[in-house]
Structures are given as C-alpha cells and as structure tokens.
C-alpha cells in the first residue's frame, strides 16, 4: 500500500490496488481514485531453475515501416525434447529456405543502431539514417561498394539534417574500419543518389562552430563558466570573415578560452578532444587572434589579460 491524496478525505490516505480490475481504492472511504489502470510490470515470473534461453515475452518488437512485412515476420523457436529437435530441424530447414527480401536491410539497420548507440545519438537520427539507406538501397546501385562506409555516410548525413552534426572523425571511430576517405566518397555517392531520386540537390544543413562546442568542452572537462564564454566567443566569431572550417574555429576558440583561465589545457589535449590537428589549431588561432578583443566576452577576461595573450 502507498499514500495518495484522496479527494473525499481531503488528505493523504493509504490506498489498495486491485490488479485484477485495475482500480486504485482509498482504504478509508472506499473511493475509487483511479480505474482501468495499466499494469506495466512483467506478466511472468522467472525462477532460478529455469533455463536461461527460455524467453517468456509474448510480444515482438515495434513495427518498422521501412521493411516489407513491417518487421513482424515469424521465427520458429526451438522447442525442448528429442521430438522437438526433429520438428525443429524440419521446420528450420523450410524456414531458412524461404528468402527474406529484407535480410540485408535488417543487418544494415542493426549496424546503424550500433553506431548510433556508441555515439550517443537520439532515435530520430538513427531513424533518419535508416530512411536514407533504404532510399539509396531501393535504387539498386550500391552493389560492390564498401558497406561500412555507406552506412557511416548515411549516419553522417542524418546528423547534419537533424542539426546535430558529428565530425567525420567521430563517425569514422565507430564505422567498423572504414576510413575517412572511404566515408567521404560514400557521402558524395549518397548525396548524388538522393539528388537523382528527388531531381534536386539534397539539403544537408549548415554546420556552425557552436554545434560542436559543448561536446568538445565536455571532453576536456571545462567548467561551466569557461563553456559559456566559449559559446559566446564562437557565436561572435561568425560576424567576421574567418576562412576556417567550423571545427577548426571551435578548437581555436577553446584554446584561447583555456589560455585565459587558471585551468590551462595543453594544445595536445585540445587536439585529441576535438579531432583537429595541432598545426591546424595553431593556424586557426593566428586567424582569430586579431579579433580576440571583439569575440571574447568582457565578463570573462579583462583587456590586460587579452594583451598578455600569447601572440601567434
């Protein structure tokens, strides 16, 4: 029993839950506080002497509109006993003979889900990547291409389109051995195929340096004040014509912010956290240095601190 506020008693009272009827009843006045409630607990009990491969779940996974059968195909399980083994061997052979047209898609979707989980991506990005791969696969022109690079490219494009971009190096780290060059080629191929399907160029979304800032700062363990200053600085940097990639600008801004703080970060650590080469960070820092008085927030660093900032 637990305490719940009763509208008749005008106070917290103990309630009794009738699981068979789905009712929650006040133990003092008998008022039904909630009816036809759904029991979300398991519908089975597992005992220690039961075999580990005995799955008591009576429902399948959610439907998938990208698959021919909606992902609701039937798989014949292996029963126990000698007669069961004979029955399984016969039915199993017939089941394996039946060609599943979605077998390749199912494997691809599982691979995309694994990469998404390793990168901590939300379900909407994973679903978008699945949709992109299905559209490319329907054109029957991807045979012979590097499958791992193709799946990684679909995930990269999905991140861009959902305004949650990841760097190619981050995608490459979970791409099962596919190189940055292979993923880049696969990305160009996917964009081309999607463009042919729609008859127009594919919208990839614009990348801003601020899209990477919070994640990079988190990788470096920067405090909240430094993160806020870095976000403001990178936003102001967009007002100037700094011809560097957004990722390089983000790394250079982080380097400046950390040099102005008590917790200075070595250039090597920033390179590892952002995936940007040390030489690229230095060159981006040179391009940003003339604008430090305009992009660094006044509340974070004084003018004398900016004057003491190492010149490139």
The reply to whether 103-198 and 210-308 are identical in fold is: yes
Q: How confident is the model at residue 272 (pLDDT cuts 50, 70, 90)?
A: very high
What's the rounded mean pLDDT across residues 39-61? 58
Tokens matching residue 1? 């029993």
141 SS3 class? coil
**Sheet of 23-26: strands edge to edge?**
2-6, 11-18, 23-26, 32-34
Q: Are 280 and 248 in contact (CB under 8 A)?
A: yes
Helices (H), the chain: 82-97, 103-119, 123-138, 147-161, 168-172, 180-198, 210-220, 224-237, 246-259, 267-274, 278-288, 292-295, 303-307
As a whole number of angstroms, the distance between CA 300 and CA 261 comes to 9
Q: How confident is the model at residue 146 (pLDDT cuts 50, 70, 90)?
A: confident
pLDDT at 236 exceeding the cut of 70: yes
Domain boundaries, the chain: 4-34, 103-198, 210-308
Which residue in this structure is represented by tokens 């509208």?
7
Q: Which of 145, 149, 136 is nearest to 181 (CA)?
A: 149
Q: Give the other-Cβ count within 10 Å of 116's Cβ.
A: 21
Please write the tens of the pLDDT for every residue from 94-105: 666 555 667 778
- 270 versus 78: which is more confidently predicted? 270
Q: Which of 115, 95, 105 is nearest to 65 (CA)?
A: 105
CATH superfamily, region 103-198: Cyclin-like (1.10.472.10)
pTM of the model: 0.69
**Beta-bridge mates of residue 285:** none
CATH superfamily, region 210-308: Cyclin-like (1.10.472.10)
- 269 versus 1: which is more confidently predicted? 269
pLDDT at 210 exceeding the cut of 90: no
What's the rounded mean pLDDT across residues 275-300? 90
Helix (H) or strand (E) holding 11: strand 11-18
pLDDT at 262: 85
Q: Are 125 and 158 in contact (CB under 8 A)?
A: yes
Please write the tens of the pLDDT for every residue from 66-83: 776 666 666 666 555 545
């Amino acid at each position: 029993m637990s305490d719940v506020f009763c509208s008749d008693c005008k106070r917290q009272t103990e309630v009794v839950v009738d699981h068979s009827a789905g009712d929650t009843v006040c133990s003092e006045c008998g008022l039904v506080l909630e009816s036809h409630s759904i029991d979300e607990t398991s519908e089975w009990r597992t005992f220690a002497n039961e075999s580990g491969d005995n799955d008591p779940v009576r429902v399948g996974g959610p439907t998938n509109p990208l698959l021919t059968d909606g992902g609701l195909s039937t798989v014949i399980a292996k029963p126990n006993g000698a007669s069961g083994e004979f029955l399984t061997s016969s039915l199993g052979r017939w089941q394996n003979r039946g060609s599943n047209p979605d077998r390749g898609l199912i494997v691809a979707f599982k691979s995309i889900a694994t990469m998404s989980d390793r990168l901590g991506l939300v379900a909407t990005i994973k679903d978008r990547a699945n949709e992109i791969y299905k559209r490319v696969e329907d054109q029957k022109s991807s045979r012979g291409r590097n499958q791992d690079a193709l799946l990684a490219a679909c995930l990269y494009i999905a991140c861009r389109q959902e305004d949650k971009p990841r760097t190619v190096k981050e995608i490459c780290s979970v791409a099962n051995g596919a190189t940055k060059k292979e993923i880049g080629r696969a990305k160009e191929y996917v964009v081309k195929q999607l463009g042919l399907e729609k008859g127009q160029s594919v919208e990839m979304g614009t990348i801003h340096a601020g899209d990477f800032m919070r994640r990079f700062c988190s990788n470096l363990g920067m405090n909240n004040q430094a993160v806020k200053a870095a976000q403001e600085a990178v936003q102001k940097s967009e007002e100037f014509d700094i011809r560097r990639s957004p990722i390089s600008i983000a790394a250079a801004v982080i380097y400046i912010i950390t040099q102005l703080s008590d917790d200075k970060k070595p250039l090597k650590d920033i390179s590892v956290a952002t995936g940007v080469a040390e030489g690229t960070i230095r060159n981006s820092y040179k391009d940003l240095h003339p604008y430090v008085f305009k992009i660094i927030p006044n509340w974070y660093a004084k003018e004398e601190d900016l004057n003491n900032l190492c010149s490139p």
